[in-house]
């Protein structure tokens, strides 16, 4: 029988996934010529006989798994293939087919999140259009009777939010059409219709400020242009991080002062209430499409102030929080400024991967709620505003993994009297007492970095660190992003030079 050129990939699959299969002998495998290292970037999509050969071989290797037809069993096989594809570096055809099979099995098994994981993996590894790849996965999920209606709608709305934050309005509209296909069956038609209206308002605002954005490129101090763009970013798009500095330059005195005080990030409860009052009072003077985001801003500042209030001031703020909660719907907790979705913000790492909502500085979401096609993670020190970014996938978020010379410890492991959650630098390893360790390889090394760890040595304790150095007790924010980084964000990306 002719020996397939895909045989080394089959051997790798069998070894990694521990499945029985007809694989080449070690002697045959050793006869294969050495292959060059896999390229760093996306490679062309394989075509022709190589793809057919790979599919045949993969289905032979996983013959027993393919014979299982229950939805949960198909999803499990999809997970196996997704993992095996990620670990197959030297055979593009096998890798491409495993990702495609993983997506199709996920759809048949009813797991839209896994289907999007496979689509995202395909987009990272191959020269394909990421939007089209994601859309194809969602479209297949929308047409599958196995995928729950609500899961399709939620995934499509997440994708639409990400596209909107990237100013890709036609793409956002496409994802909303997928959501609309299942909205009635999921009982959320009004939610999807409202999102369509929001998208149209943001799109019109983007087009209306095109000339102003060009003006600011040549004249950043242009107050009128800054005001209009800042107003669009904050009050229509909800991108307060980018919009507040511009709004603080505007000619509208009330908006200008509110933006200035917002940028100052007040700490005292009374100052936070005063800022919440400013956004509350501004609502009626705004355009109807702008009022929801102003209410959200008031809600967030009241929410931060509430835990430190008592008596009549607390009763007044609690009443306003109740009124605002009825009008802002689900806008709080959606994609934030610049497309970043905050999934953790606290000085207590113990709430990582939980559903917690006890104020702006003590909140978290379970990792199950994170979009499937996450590309980046940002860790921010909320006191200083400093941030670092690493490449990320959803499957890595709750694990400890290393990439590009840096590690991410998302296990939140409770060791040495402390929780461990954050980013570490593989070059910052030491086996002496003293450094604050984000990850400890027992007697080998304590790795320093950014986030939560333990202060090594006698009396180990919970500690906080930034850039490998000790820090005071800190509220750290962890956010994820599915869209490309801006040039400014790219400068914060941690990646070793090769």
Q: What DSSP assignment string belongs to 352-393?
A: TTS-EESSTTSEE--GGGS-TT--EEEEEETTT--EEEEE--
Reference 371, options 68, 58, 154; nearest CA is 154
45 and 138 together in one domain: yes
Q: What percent of the chain has pLDDT over 70?
A: 86
> In the chain, what is the greatest distance between 2 CA atoms, to the nearest angstrom?
86
Cβ neighbours around 466 below 10 Å, total: 21
DSSP conformation class of 433: S
Residue 93, domain member (yes or no): yes
Is 309's pLDDT higher than 80? yes
110 and 250 together in one domain: no
Residue 247, domain member (yes or no): yes
Residue 238, domain member (yes or no): yes
Residue 387, domain member (yes or no): yes
Least confident of 105-119, 150-164, 168-182: 150-164
Residue 31, domain member (yes or no): yes
Q: What is the pLDDT of residue 308?
A: 81
The packing angle between helices 7-17 and 71-87, to 10°, is 120
Dihedral (CA of 146, 150, 153, 158) sign: negative
266 and 362 together in one domain: no
Average pLDDT over residues 68-79: 91
Residue 56's H or E segment, with its range, is: helix 49-61
Is 155's pLDDT higher than 70? yes
Q: What is the pLDDT of residue 93?
A: 94
275 and 143 together in one domain: no
Is 408's pLDDT higher than 60? yes
CA–CA gap between residue 120 and residue 114 (Å, rounded): 10
477 and 406 together in one domain: yes
Average pLDDT over residues 114-126: 87
Q: Could you identify the residue written with the tokens 């689900």?
A: 330
What pLDDT digit, counting tens, does each position of 429-475 carry? 876 656 799 998 876 788 999 999 998 666 678 999 999 999 988 89
Residues 6 or more apart in contact with residue 324 via CB below 8 angstroms: 295, 296, 298, 299, 302
CA–CA gap between residue 267 and residue 123 (Å, rounded): 43
292 and 408 together in one domain: no
Confidence of residue 247 (pLDDT cuts 50, 70, 90): very high
Reference 7, options 90, 82, 101; nearest CA is 90
CA–CA gap between residue 51 and residue 100 (Å, rounded): 11
59 and 87 together in one domain: yes
Q: What is the pLDDT of residue 380?
A: 93
369 and 304 together in one domain: no
Residue 414, domain member (yes or no): yes
Joined tokens for residue 304: 């931060």
Q: What is the pLDDT of residue 206?
A: 94
Joined tokens for residue 287: 């355009």
Joined tokens for residue 433: 């007492």
Residue 159, domain member (yes or no): no
Is 14's pLDDT higher than 70? no
DSSP conformation class of 126: B
315 and 344 together in one domain: no
- For the ranges 404-408, 413-417, 455-459, the maximum mean pLDDT occurs at 404-408
**Would strands 445-455 and 439-441 be described as parallel, antiparallel, or unpaired?**
antiparallel
CA–CA gap between residue 269 and residue 276 (Å, rounded): 10
Confidence of residue 334 (pLDDT cuts 50, 70, 90): low
What pLDDT digit, counting tens, does each position of 182-232 carry? 888 888 888 888 888 988 999 999 999 999 999 999 999 999 999 999 999
Joined tokens for residue 114: 């896994």
How confident is the prediction for the chain on average, in pLDDT? Answer: 84
What is the pTM assigned to this prediction?
0.63
The packing angle between helices 149-165 and 112-125, to 10°, is 40
Q: What is the pLDDT of residue 151?
A: 84
Q: What percent of the chain has pLDDT over 90?
A: 44
Find how far residue 451's CA is from the centre of its chain.
18
Q: Could you identify the residue written with the tokens 């055979």?
A: 91
| Domain boundary, last residue among 100, 131, 147 | 147
CA–CA gap between residue 56 and residue 98 (Å, rounded): 11
277 and 385 together in one domain: no
Range of the domain at 245: 209-328
Backbone angles phi, psi at 440, to 5 degrees: -120, 125
Cβ neighbours around 399 below 10 Å, total: 11
Residue 334, domain member (yes or no): no
Number of helical (H) and strand (E) elements in the chain, helices listed first: 19, 14
Joined tokens for residue 390: 């690493």
134 and 223 together in one domain: no
Reference 421, options 482, 354, 359; nearest CA is 354
Joined tokens for residue 494: 């941690």
What pLDDT digit, counting tens, does each position of 283-300 carry? 999 999 999 899 989 988
Q: What is the pLDDT of residue 444?
A: 76
Is 47's pLDDT higher than 70? yes
CA–CA gap between residue 443 and residue 460 (Å, rounded): 15
Q: What is the pLDDT of residue 355?
A: 80
CA–CA gap between residue 429 and residue 440 (Å, rounded): 9
Question: Angle 76-81-87 (CA atoms, 0-180°, nearest 5)?
Answer: 130
Least confident of 17-26, 340-349, 401-410: 17-26
Counting the structural domains of the chain, the total is 3
| Domain boundary, last residue among 130, 147, 164 | 147
321 and 361 together in one domain: no
Dihedral (CA of 357, 489, 133, 336) sign: positive
| Domain boundary, last residue among 103, 131, 147 | 147
Is 4's pLDDT higher than 50? no
């Amino acid at each position: 029988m002719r020996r397939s050129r895909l045989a080394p990939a089959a051997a790798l699959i069998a070894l990694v996934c521990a499945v029985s299969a007809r694989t080449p002998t070690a002697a045959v495998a050793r006869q294969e010529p050495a292959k060059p290292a896999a390229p760093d970037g996306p490679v062309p999509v394989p075509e022709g006989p190589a793809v057919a050969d790979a599919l045949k071989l993969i289905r032979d290797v996983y013959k027993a798994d393919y014979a299982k037809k229950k939805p949960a069993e198909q999803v499990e096989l999809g997970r196996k293939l997704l993992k095996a594809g990620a670990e197959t570096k030297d055979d593009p055809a096998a890798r491409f087919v495993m990702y495609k099979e993983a997506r199709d099995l996920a759809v048949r098994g009813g797991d839209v999140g896994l289907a999007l994981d496979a689509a995202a993996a395909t987009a990272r590894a191959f020269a394909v259009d990421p939007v089209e790849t994601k859309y194809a996965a969602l479209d297949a999920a929308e047409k599958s009777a196995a995928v729950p209606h609500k899961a399709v709608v939620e995934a499509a709305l997440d994708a639409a939010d990400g596209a909107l934050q990237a100013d890709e309005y036609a793409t956002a509209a496409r994802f909303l059409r997928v959501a609309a296909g299942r909205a009635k069956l999921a009982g959320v038609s009004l939610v999807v219709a409202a999102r369509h209206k929001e998208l149209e308002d943001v799109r019109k605002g983007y087009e209306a400020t095109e000339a102003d954005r060009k003006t600011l490129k040549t004249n950043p101090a242009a107050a009128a242009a800054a005001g209009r763009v800042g107003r669009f970013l904050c009050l229509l798009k909800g991108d307060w991080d980018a919009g507040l500095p511009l709004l603080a330059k505007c000619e509208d005195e009330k908006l200008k002062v509110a933006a200035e005080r917002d940028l100052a990030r007040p700490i005292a409860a009374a100052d936070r209430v005063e800022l919440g009052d400013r956004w509350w009072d501004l609502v009626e003077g705004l355009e109807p499409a702008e009022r929801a985001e102003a209410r959200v801003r008031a809600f967030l500042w009241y929410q931060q102030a509430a835990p430190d209030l008592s008596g009549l001031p607390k009763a007044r703020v609690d009443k306003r929080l109740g009124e605002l909660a009825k009008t802002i719907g689900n806008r709080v907790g959606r994609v934030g400024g610049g497309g970043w979705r905050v999934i953790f913000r606290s000085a207590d790492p113990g709430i990582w991967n939980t559903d917690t909502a006890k104020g702006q500085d003590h909140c978290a979401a379970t990792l199950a709620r994170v979009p499937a096609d996450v590309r980046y993670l940002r860790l921010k020190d909320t006191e200083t505003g400093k941030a670092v970014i690493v490449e990320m996938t959803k499957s890595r978020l709750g694990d400890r993994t290393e990439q590009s010379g840096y590690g991410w410890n998302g296990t939140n492991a409770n060791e040495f009297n402390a929780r461990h959650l954050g980013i570490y630098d593989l070059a910052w390893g030491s086996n002496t007492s003293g450094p604050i360790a984000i990850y400890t390889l027992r007697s080998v090394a304590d790795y320093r970095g950014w986030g939560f760890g333990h202060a090594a040595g006698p009396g180990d304790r919970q500690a906080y660190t930034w850039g490998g150095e000790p820090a005071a007790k800190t509220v750290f924010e962890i956010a994820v992003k599915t869209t490309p980084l801006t040039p400014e964000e790219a400068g914060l990306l941690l990646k070793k030079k090769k």
